[in-house]
Amino acid sequence: MTDDDLLSRADAIAERAYAPYSEFNVGVAVLARDGTVFEGVNVENAAYPLGLCAEENAIGTAVTQGYGPGDFEALAVNASPCGGCRQWLWQMKFDRIIFRNAGQVVTMSPAELLPETFDDL
Ligand code: THU
């Protein structure tokens, strides 16, 4: 699976987002080192702060299946990851993050996305 393919998976799954408030559909595709791909979308709520980001849902699905920090190669998302999600990306020790930002495809490491990161482990 190439990074372009992974981003295409993210673009496609974004159609399943439940985002009636922001109308901003986000899709994520996570590539595990064993080749498994996990997907996630943002899920919003009438109580706005309860909304979940696509990254959280994709990572949560992977962890539910027994995967964890160090098991992941890359994560692709059709938007620039929010600040909170950058902390999640750091926690799961992805090698690289591929995302769309202002019409460009950008690839960065979690450390580049969140310098001087808080980490208690
Ligand atoms: N969103 C994500 O799912 N991931 C991000 O990294 C950026 C923001 C969602 C949250 C909310 O449902 C919508 O995009 C608008 O902020």
Residue 121 pLDDT: 75
To which H or E segment does residue 64 belong? helix 54-64
Q: Counting atoms of ligand 1 from 1, which one is nearest the CA of 44?
A: 12
Asked if residue 60 has its Cβ within 6 Å of ligand 1, the reply is no
Asked if residue 22 has its Cβ within 6 Å of ligand 1, the reply is yes
The structure's pTM equals: 0.97
Asked if residue 13 has its Cβ within 6 Å of ligand 1, the reply is no
The whole-angstrom separation of Cα 39 and Cα 48 is: 22
Could you tell me the strand order of the sheet in which 72-77 lies? 37-41, 27-32, 72-77, 96-101, 104-108
pLDDT along the chain (121 residues), means of 10: 98 98 98 98 98 98 98 98 98 98 97 92 75
Residue 119 pLDDT: 84
Q: Counting atoms of ligand 1 from 1, which one is nearest the CA of 53?
A: 3
CB atoms within 10 A of CB 26: 25
Residue 56 pLDDT: 98
What tokens appear for 24 in the block?
């901003």
